[in-house]
Amino acid sequence: MDFAYDAVTEGYRQRLLAFMDEHVYPAEPAPDLAALQRVARERGLWNLFLTGEHGAGLTNLQYAPLAEIMGRSPSLAPAALNCAAPDTGNMELLAGFGTPWQRDRWLRPLLDGRIRSAFCMTEPEVASSDATNIATRIERDGDQYRINGRKWFATGGMSPRCEIFVVMGRSDPDAPRHRQQSMVLVPRDTPGVTVVRGLHSFGYDDGDHGGHAEIEFADVRVPAEHLIGGEGDGFAIAQARLGPGRIHHCMRLIGMAERALELLCRRVTARVAFGRPLAEQGVVQDWIAESRVRIEQARLLVLKTAWLMDTVGNQGAHTEIQAIKIAVPSAVEWILDKAIQAHGAAGVSQDTPLAGLWSRARTIRIADGPDEVHRRSLARRELRRFSP
């Protein structure tokens, strides 16, 4: 078992670390995303997440430490490298399930960073943790599909560059439970599409880098060739899309935790209370030690999961994907909480990135399936091993 990065990964790591120091961190107060993207492309730091012909050709295991570095500035770095959700998942979806026409029309401009996209799955009126509850209707009408429903927390939907929505809805209510759903591509400017409002997470939005939208689809019509895969394939396609998305979240979360721990250590060595540096307080040392342990545990589990996805496929890594989705956001939320505590009032203010990072970690305990759903599924998998 070799824990060293291979030569390809290390080469990308060094280039990415330099890019972060020279361009991303200095730009955080007033980002110019277009300028950052130009530099990233010039340095070959583009579409690193995507395997195969369309991306850099990295494995999940090679990409993991790179996504971790991006996670140190999650609002800016992933977008600068064209590795930001939900575009990553939508590009993977189009690459894997799109027709040649769909890939040429939508995947190509997404790969070039010319447009953005949104994934419309979650709904305000149903428990979307169970994707079979989705109520939005997708009905065949001649050579078109008609869409009616309401979606929300469609990340990317508030970006002025968002041009395409990937919409999941119910196409056949009488089919077996996991064959009732389909997916269609809906251009943003289609008549009947209304972006109702932007939604905040704990008061934060992502501006041009994402922005969560509530969207109404009222008798929206798109050509039949906008269907992704076949009718009834929507649930399976969604699961194929969400697996890589979950591990990408966890990869970036580790970078968020590393930055939080770094800020925590700098703060407590510079501040004095009750006659001695905060770093000498036993409770603070406890926080630091526990933070390092949790980061190392989380990183190893994520790397194992990435390796399994590369070697036995996403389905073969299903247990580990669920395990990281449970363990990593919770661990990182704890670390961020302690970093905020050490900063006092500054920790909850806009003067450090900590409050924004905490909101992301807490939100990911809900996004792509809440903790409780993953725990239930994981427990059932374990129990099956012992069932007669």
What torsion do the CA atoms of 269, 72, 299, 40 make, to the nearest 10 degrees? -140
Neighbours of 59 (CB within 10 A): 16
CA dist list (Å): 133 to 89, 109, 169, 170, 180: 22, 32, 10, 9, 10
Helix (H) or strand (E) run with residue 365 in it? none
How many Å apart are CA 283 and CA 268, to the nearest integer? 11
Selection from 220, 235, 231 nearest residue 189 by Cα: 220
- Looking at CATH, the fold of the domain delimited by 236-384 is given as Butyryl-CoA Dehydrogenase, subunit A; domain 3 (1.20.140)
Structure tokens at 380: 């059932």
In DSSP notation, 298-317 reads HHHHHHHHHHHHHHHHHHHT
CATH of 115-228, one of 2.30.110.10, 2.40.110.10, 3.20.190.10, 3.40.250.10: 2.40.110.10
Give the pLDDT of the chain (388 residues) as one tens digit per residue. 789 999 999 999 999 999 999 999 999 999 999 999 999 999 999 999 987 677 788 999 999 999 999 999 999 999 999 999 999 999 999 999 999 999 999 999 999 999 999 999 999 999 988 888 999 999 999 999 999 999 999 999 999 999 999 999 999 999 999 999 999 999 999 999 999 999 999 988 865 556 899 999 999 999 999 999 999 999 999 988 888 889 999 999 999 999 999 999 999 999 999 999 999 999 999 999 999 999 999 999 999 999 999 999 999 999 999 999 999 999 999 999 999 999 999 999 999 999 999 999 999 999 998 999 999 999 999 999 998 8
| Helix, strand or coil, per DSSP, at residue 95 | helix
Residue with tokens 């190392």: 296
Residues of the chain within CATH 1.20.140.10 domain(s) are 236-384
Measure the CA angle with vertex 339, ends 17 and 65; round to 5°. Answer: 30
What is the pTM assigned to this prediction? 0.95
Burial call 278-295: b when 16+ CB within 10 Å, e when fewer: bbeeeebeebbeebeebb
Structure tokens at 85: 């959700």
Residues of the chain within CATH 2.40.110.10 domain(s) are 115-228
CATH of 7-91, one of 1.10.540.10, 1.10.565.10, 3.50.50.60, 3.30.10.20: 1.10.540.10
Measured on CA atoms in the order 104, 108, 110, 113, is the torsion positive or negative?
negative
How many Å apart are CA 375 and CA 323, to the nearest integer? 8
